[in-house]
């Protein structure tokens, strides 16, 4: 049985061993470290597979443009986004670690631009007095994250980048809450880093 790293109480003594199924990665993901990478599983027919010599870029559009589509794992909840999406932010906060099993990858959009199908079936979990997280009741896919202002959701909604249909044309723009996660392999010198707090640039649409 595999355990998610984010569910562990102590993980600072763990080391990254490999990336697997990298051909299925999001086109916004950067894999710039030196650990072995595998197109699919690291095992084939019970035997060790050969690691990739290089990781080829994924095909797709060079720019991000609406409309975007996405869905949960089982397809019960699907959605469209009719506005531009912000660049992907990788969040290492404790909530995201437990929610996703590791760091979360999100892109921000105006809530009014997110058109939900079977949206009435989404389950919302209040992770704190200031936040709520939406998931599919059938397959438990983590789909949305939203700030609460009192009992009212904010006018923006963060969408799990992994729920978007590929290719997205998006790029990773920043990483936040790095002080709460031991996930150095996701970091890149080209990204804007914030050690604590929600210190990412104010969104603009």
- For the chain, the structural domain boundaries read 16-59, 60-205
Distance CA 176, CA 172 (A): 12
In the chain, which stretches have pLDDT less than 70? 180-205
Rounded to whole angstroms, the Cα distance separating 136 from 124 reads 9
Q: Is 81 exposed, middle or buried (0-12, 13-18, 19+ CB in 10 A)?
A: buried
Q: Which pLDDT belongs to residue 6?
A: 87
Residue 54's pLDDT is 92
Q: What is the pLDDT of residue 30?
A: 85
pLDDT at 202: 40
Residue 128: name the closest of 156, 105, 98 by CA: 98
Question: Which one of 1.10.3720.10, 3.20.20.80, 3.90.1590.10, 3.40.50.720 gives the CATH number of domain 60-205?
Answer: 3.90.1590.10
Three-state DSSP at 81 gives strand
- At 131 the pLDDT is 92
From the list 7, 177, 8, the residue with the least C-alpha distance to 98 is: 7
The reported pLDDT for the residue numbered 124 is: 96
């Amino acid at each position: 049985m595999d355990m998610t790293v984010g569910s562990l109480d102590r993980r600072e003594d763990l080391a990254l061993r490999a990336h697997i199924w990298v051909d299925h990665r999001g086109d916004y993901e950067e894999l710039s470290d030196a650990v072995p990478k595998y197109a699919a599983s690291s095992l084939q027919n019970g035997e060790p597979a050969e690691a990739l010599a290089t990781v080829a870029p994924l095909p797709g559009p060079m720019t991000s443009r609406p409309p975007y589509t996405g869905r949960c794992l089982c397809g019960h909840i699907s959605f469209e986004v009719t506005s531009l999406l912000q660049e992907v932010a990788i969040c290492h906060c404790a909530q995201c670690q437990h929610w996703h099993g590791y760091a979360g990858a999100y892109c921000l959009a105006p809530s009014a631009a997110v058109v939900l199908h079977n949206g009435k079936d989404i389950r919302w979990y209040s992770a704190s007095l200031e936040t709520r997280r939406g998931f599919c009741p059938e397959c438990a896919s983590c789909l949305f994250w939203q700030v609460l202002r009192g009992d009212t959701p904010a006018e923006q909604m963060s969408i799990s980048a992994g729920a978007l249909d590929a290719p997205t044309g998006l790029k990773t723009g920043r990483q936040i809450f790095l002080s709460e996660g031991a996930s150095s392999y996701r970091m890149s010198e080209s990204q804007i880093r914030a050690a604590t707090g929600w210190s990412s640039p104010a969104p603009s649409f």
